[in-house]
Chain A
Amino acid sequence: MTFDPQAATRTPPKKVIFRIKRYDPEKDKTWWEEYEVETYRGMTVLDALLKIKEEIDHTIVMRYSCRMGVCGSCGMVINGMPRLACQTQISEVASEAKPVIELEPLKNYPVIKDLLTDFTKFFNKHRSVKPYLIRKNKEEVEKGDAEFLMTPEEHKELYEYTLCIACGLCYSACPVAASDERFLGPQALAYVWRYVSDPRDEAWKERLEAVDVEEGPWSCHYAASCSAVCPKMVDPGAAIQRLRSVLIKYKLGLFKKKTAKKAVIPKEQVKPKKPLPPESKLVEGVDIEALDKAPVEIPVEELIS
């Protein structure tokens, strides 16, 4: 998503009208409702929504948590574009000429109430691609004392994909997901590429074979809306194209990933312990090393009495 560095310093219109698409599941009714909000410089759409909820209408429902673009909870369609409400300045989307902001729930998700959407299927797709490192030697992972190394160049190749916060904006913008519910979607497929390209992962064959299905990367037609709306610059559109080209090479027998490096014990753990210098023994007769091993007993009852 393009970042406008001047947006935060611009003063938004003094009063902005919020047109919110509401849905009442009990009455099974959808309607647009308008609220007028007094703004201030630096106010975000989420700030305005919370102001509406606190001062005008307590019944509005939306999801939010961190308020700083980290948790990815407050995704909604703002003036026709999927955005995070906490990252969207009012001055970015409203002007003196048109002081109106339209808010809708994210497209391609079932709407539970007002701006609240159901992410169950989205997270099921995310889970289905096994979004974690898989090693052949399970002990390495379970023991947890070793490190899986990679070079800075290798890290650079996959770093942008690790920034995904699973906010679901890409899935909402995808025109393929709009018509095909089975499509895994940009987020899940970007995760597949993130692990296929990860030099530490050893399950690349299984991952490639798992996504070699109709609802996998073959369904993507590169509208690139996912990359255009991503608030973290993850570029899922490019990830899917890379995944597809690798899948073609793999099917033709032209792709083979490098063997993953062995896990290594961090150097600081194998360093021999240096003996303490004489000046560290401040109190005569006290053995610091023995104290380290045995916990200090505090005579609590004695102190209370």
Chain B
Amino acid sequence: MAEEKSKVIDNRPGWIASINPWVLRVVNNPERVAFVLHRVTGILMALIIMAHIFVTGTPAHTGWEAWVEEINKAQGFSLVTLYFFFFAGIAWFHGLNGIRLLLVEFFGVCIGKPEKPKPPYIAPSLKACQRKLLYLVFLLWPILWAITGYIVFFK
């Protein structure tokens, strides 16, 4: 007799959970937004670095002096300055959040101390200083990005 295969459906969202923080609507969890942003900026940085190697390798064929002159000419809103501005944005977030993650993941600090449950039953790590650092990242990121934008476009 042929064995009946039990039918079950796989309910895993897959890689989409890494780029969409709202696959689940978990409350009191800005770390998940940071996790998604960190992944997305990491992938973008990897792509940009590959493009960067390609672009900086080009003058080997066309001549360094002409290339440096071309880059120096880039002022105001050009393709090169927009690229720098975009790259600065993702690098600032990835770097700032990376420092927070380094403290949390490798040194095991800023995650509070274990405690006995008491109302309102919020896990210690969600109210520890890593959360404050996360808010600091979200605050500093746009400020530093704007300053970089000012330098890139207007200086």
A156 near B114 with CB under 8 A, answer yes
Q: A25-B8, A106-B11, A178-B13 are in contact. Are A235 and B124 (CB under 8 A)?
A: yes
A54 at interface (Cβ–Cβ under 8 A)? Answer: no
Interface of B is mostly: loop
Chain B residues positioned under 8 Å from A159 (CB to CB): 114, 116
Residue interface bits A20-43, CB-to-B below 8 A is 1, else 0:
000101101010000000000000
Q: Which residues of A contact B11 (CB under 8 A)?
A: 105-111, 117
Interface centre among B10, B24, B25, B29 (most CB of A within 10 A): B24
Could you tell me which residues of chain B, from 8 to 22, have a CB within 8 Å of some CB in chain A? 8-18, 22
Which residues from chain A contact B115 at a C-beta distance below 8 Å? 156, 160
| Residues A230 and B9 in contact, CB atoms below 8 Å apart | no
Is B7 touching A25 in the complex (CB atoms < 8 A)? Answer: yes
Please provide the chain A residues from 1 to 24 with a CB less than 8 Å away from any CB of chain B in the complex.
Answer: 1-5, 23
Segment among A59-67, A78-86, A130-138, A140-148 that sits at the interface with chain B:
A78-86
Note all chain B residues with C-beta closer than 8 A to A229: 26
Determine the residue in chain B with the shortest Cβ distance to A233. Answer: B117
Q: Does B154 lie at the interface of the complex (its beta carbon under 8 Å from any beta carbon of A)?
A: no
- Chain A: interface size category: 35 or more
Provide the bound-state CA to CA distance between A159 and B27, in Å. 25
Complex interface: chain B residues within 8 A of A26 (CB):
7
Distance of A81 Cα from B120 Cα, bound (Å): 18
Q: Across chains A and B, which 3 residue pairs bring their CB atoms closest together, nearest first?
A: A245-B108, A80-B25, A178-B17
Q: List 23 A-B contacts (CB under 8 A).
A: A2-B121, A5-B119, A23-B9, A105-B11, A107-B12, A108-B13, A110-B8, A158-B114, A179-B12, A222-B105, A223-B29, A223-B35, A223-B36, A225-B24, A225-B29, A228-B32, A233-B117, A235-B124, A238-B123, A238-B124, A242-B108, A244-B105, A246-B108
Q: Name B's A-contacting residues (CB within 8 A).
A: 6-18, 22-29, 31-32, 35-36, 38-39, 101, 104-108, 111-112, 114-117, 119-126, 128
